[in-house]
Amino acid sequence: MRKEMKEYNFDWMLWNVFASAARLKSGTEKEYLNTLKYIPYFKGVVEPIMECGEPGRKFLDMSAKYLENIVHAKERGFKTAVTTFCFSPAIFYAMDIIPVGLEVISVMMTFAYKRGTADFLDFCNEAGFTETSCSSQRGTIGAYLAGVGAEIDMIVTDSPGVCDTNANAFAFASAYLDKPFFQLDMPPDLTGDRSDEYHLEDYKALIKFLEEHSGKKLEPDQLKARLDELQRQDTIIAELEEMARIIPSPIPVVYNLFVYASRFLFAGMPECTEVLESMLKAASENAAMKRPGLKGGREKIRTFFCYIDHYAQNLQLWQMLEREGIGYCGNILSRLWAENVPHVKEYGKEEAAYRVDTSSLDSMIYTLAGINSRMPMIKSIRGPYDAPNMWLEDTLALAKMYSTDVIVYNGTPGCRNTWGMVKLLARDTEAAGYPTYIMYSDAFDERVQSWEATEERFLEFLKVRRII
Amino acid sequence: MITAGIDVGSLTSKAVIMKDGKFLSSAILKSKPRPWESADLALNSVLEKTGLSMTDINCSVGTGYGRDKIPFIKQALSEIACHAKGARWLMPSARTVIDIGGQDCKVMRLDEKGEMVKFITNDKCASGTGRFLEVMAKVMGVELSELGELSACSKSPITLASACTVWAQADIIQHLNEMIPIEDIAAGINNAMASRVSTLVSSIGIEREVCMTGGVAKNSGVVSSLEKTLGIHIKKIRRDDPQLAGAIGAAIYAETVSNGGKI
Amino acid sequence: MNKFIEAVSTLENSYIKDWKSRGGRVVGYTCSYVPDEILHAAGLFPFRVRGFSAADTTIGDTYFGPFICSLPKCMLQLAGEGKFNFLDGIIITPGCDSMRRLDECWRKAGDDIEGIMPGFFFHFGVPHKFTDYTLKWFTEETKRLVGALNAHFGADINNEKLSESIKLYNRSRALLARFDSLRTKENPPFTGIEALAVVLAGTALPKEIYNVMLEEYLTEMNEAPGLAGRSRIMLVGSANDDLELVRIIEGSGGLVVADNLCFGSRLYSDAVDENSDPVEALVTRYLSHNECPRMYGDYKNRLLSLKEKIESAAIDGVILQNIRFCDLHGSENGLFERDLEKEGIPCMRLEREYGPLVETGRMKMRIDAFLERLGRRTVAP
- Which residue from C361, C373, C379 is facing B117, i.e. has the nearest CB? C373
Q: What is the pLDDT of residue C114?
A: 95
Q: What is the ipTM of this complex?
A: 0.95
Considering only CB atoms, C125 lies closest to which of A164, A168, A188, namely A188
| Residue pairs between chains B and C whose CB atoms are closer than 8 Å | 38
Which among A181, A189, A420 has CB closest to C68? A420
* Closest A-chain CA to B196: A122
Q: Is the minimum CB–CB distance between A447 and chain B shorter than 8 Å?
A: yes
- How many angstroms separate the CA atoms of C79 and C59, rounded? 9
Give the distance from residue A123's alpha carbon to the nearest chain B alpha carbon, in angstroms. 7
C2-9 and C192-201 are packed helices; what angle lies between their axes, rounded to 10 degrees?
A: 60
pLDDT digits (tens, 9 = 90+) for A163-210: 999 999 999 999 999 999 999 999 999 999 999 999 999 999 999 999
- Nearest by CB to residue B116, choosing from C361, C366, C373, is C373
Establish if C75 belongs to a structural domain: yes
Q: Is the pLDDT of residue B163 over 80?
A: no
Which pLDDT score, from 0 to 100, does residue B262 have?
64
Instruction: Determine the residue of chain B that is closest to A5 in CA distance.
Output: B229
Q: Are residues A138 and A169 in contact, defined by beta-carbon separation less than 8 angstroms?
A: yes
- Chain B nearest CA to C312, separation (Å): 24
Tell if the CB–CB gap between B199 and A447 is shorter than 8 Å: no
Interface of A with C in 110-149 (CB under 8 A): 127-130, 132-133
A50 to chain B, closest Cα gap in Å: 28
Structural domains present in chain B: 1-91+243-263 (3.30.420.40), 93-236 (3.30.420.40)
Phi-psi region of A319 (alpha: psi -120 to 50; beta: other; left: phi over 0): alpha
Phi, psi of C318 (to 5 degrees): -115, 130
Q: Has residue C143 been placed in a domain?
A: yes
CB atoms A125 and B203 under 8 Å: yes
Give B169's contacts in chain A (Cβ within 8 Å): none
Tell whether C227 is covered by a domain. Answer: no
**CA–CA dist A186, A166 (Å, integer):** 13
Q: Which residue of C has its CA nearest to A163?
A: C97
- Give the C-alpha separation, C68 to C64, whole Å: 7
Nearest CB to A450; choose among B162, B229, B231:
B162
In chain C, the number of structural domains is 1
Which residues of C fall within a CB distance of 8 Å from A385? Answer: 101, 104
For residue B227, the SS3 value is: helix
Residue of chain B whose alpha carbon sits nearest to that of A129: B203
- Interchain contact C361–B (C-beta under 8 A): yes
Distance from CA of C360 to the nearest CA of B (A): 11
Contact B199 A122 (CB under 8 A): yes
Taking alpha carbons only, the member of C95, C115, C92, C98 closest to residue C57 is C98
Residues on chain C touching A383 (C-beta within 8 angstroms) = 94, 100, 103, 123, 125
Mean of pLDDT values over B162-187? 86
pLDDT at B263 over 70: no
Domain extent listing, chain A:
3-186
Closest Cα in chain B to A123? B199
Contact state of C372 with B117 under an 8 Å Cβ cutoff: no
Q: Whose CA is closest to C274, among C169, C180, C175, C172?
A: C169
Q: What is the pLDDT of residues A111-121, one digit of tens each?
A: 999 889 999 99
Query: What is the DSSP code (8-state) at residue A280?
Result: H
3-state SS assignment for residue A80: strand
DSSP states of A159-201 as a string?
A: -TTT-HHHHHHHHHHHHHHT--EEE----S-SSSHHHHHHHHH
Residues of chain A neighbouring C334 (CB-CB closer than 8 A):
127-130, 172
Distance from CA of C335 to the nearest CA of B (A): 12
Closest CB to A2: pick one of B163, B164, B229.
Answer: B229
Domain that holds residue C56: 18-158
Check CB contact of A128 with chain B, cutoff 8 Å.
yes
Contact B202 A2 (CB under 8 A): no
CA A214 to chain centre: 25
Q: Of all helices (H) and strands (E), which one includes residue A372?
A: helix A361-373
Q: Is the pLDDT of residue A27 over 90?
A: no
CA–CA separation, C13 and C20 (whole Å): 11
Residue C153 domain-assigned (yes or no): yes
The answer to whether B145 contacts chain A (CB < 8 Å) is no
Kindly state the average pLDDT of the residues A243-270. 96
**What mean pLDDT comes out for the span A332-341?**
93
Residue C306 located in a structural domain? no
**Is C183 among the domain residues?**
no
Q: With contact defined as beta carbons under 8 Å apart, do B94 and B209 qualify?
A: yes
A198 and C137 Cβ atoms separated by less than 8 Å: yes
Does residue B196 have a pLDDT over 90? no
pLDDT at C379: 43
Q: Confirm or reject contact between B206 and chain A (CB < 8 A).
A: no
C353 touches chain B (CB under 8 A): no
Instruction: Tell me how long chain B is.
Output: 263
Determine how β-strand B2-8 pairs with β-strand B59-64: parallel
Cβ–Cβ below 8 Å for C66 and A419: yes
Using CB atoms, which residue from B161, B164, B199 is nearest to A126? B199
Q: List the subunits that have 3+ CB pairs under 8 angstroms with C.
A: A, B
Checking if the pLDDT of B31 tops 70, the result is yes
Query: Is B163 touching A (CB cutoff 8 A)?
Result: yes
3-state secondary structure chain C: CHHHHHHHHCCCCHHHHHHHHCCCCEEEECCCCCCCHHHHHCCCEEEECCCCCCCCCHHHHHHCCCCCCHHHHHHHHHHHCCCCCCCCEEEECCCCHHHHCHHHHHHHHHHHCCCCCCCEEEECCCCCCCCHHHHHHHHHHHHHHHHHHHHHHCCCCCHHHHHHHHHHHHHHHHHHHHHHHHHCCCCCCCCHHHHHHHHHHCCCCCHHHHHHHHHHHHHHHHHCCCCCCCEEEEEEECCCCCHHHHHHHHCCCEEEEEECCCCCHHHHCCCCCCCCCHHHHHHHHHHCCCCCCCCCCCHHHHHHHHHHHHHHCCCCEEEEEEECCCHHHHHHHHHHHHHHHHCCCCEEEEEECCCCCCCHHHHHHHHHHHHHHHHHHHHCC
Q: How far is CA A132 from the centre of its chain?
A: 21
List all residues of chain A from 199 to 218 with a beta carbon under 8 Å from chain C: 201-202, 205
Nearest chain B CA: its distance from A335 CA (Å): 34
Report the range of poorest mean pLDDT among B54-58, B162-166, C90-94, C301-305.
Answer: B162-166
Q: Which residue in the set A1, A125, A447 is minimally distant from B163, CB to CB?
A: A447
Contact B263 C341 (CB under 8 A): no
Size of interface A-C (CB pairs under 8 A): 153
* A403-409: average pLDDT: 97
Write down the pLDDT at residue C380: 37
For residues A79-118, one letter each, b for 16 or more C-beta atoms within 10 angstroms of the residue's C-beta and e for the rest, the string is bbbbbbbbbbbbbbbbbebbbbbbbbbbbbbbbbbeebbb
Any chain C CB within 8 A of the CB of A168?
yes
Tens digit of each residue's pLDDT (9 = 90 or more) over B93-128: 999 999 988 788 999 999 888 888 889 888 677 778
C-alpha distance from C372 to closest chain B C-alpha (Å): 6
Contacts of A157 in chain C (CB under 8 A): 296
CA distance C261 to B249: 37
* Contact by Cβ (8 Å): A259, A279: yes
pLDDT at B68 over 90: no
Quick: pLDDT tens for A380-389. 999 999 999 9
Cβ distance C137 to A187 less than 8 Å, yes or no, reads yes
Residue of C nearest to B64 (CA): C365
Closest chain B residue to the Cα of A448, Cα to Cα: B162
Across the interface, whether the CB atoms of B161 and A128 are under 8 A apart is answered no
Residues of chain C with pLDDT under 50: 378-381
Q: Do A450 and B161 touch (CB under 8 A)?
A: yes
Work out how many CB contacts closer than 8 A connect A with B: 20
pLDDT of the residue at A468: 82
Residue B115, helix vs strand vs coil: coil
Nearest to B119 among C361, C369, C379 (CB): C369
| Omega cis (within 30) before A285 | no
- Asked whether the beta carbons of residue C361 and residue B77 sit closer than 8 angstroms, the reply is no
Q: At B224, is the secondary structure helix, strand, or coil?
A: helix
> Taking CA atoms, what residue in B is nearest to C353?
B124
Count of helices and strands (H, E) across chain A: 20, 8
Q: What is the CATH number of the domain that holds C90?
A: 3.40.50.11890
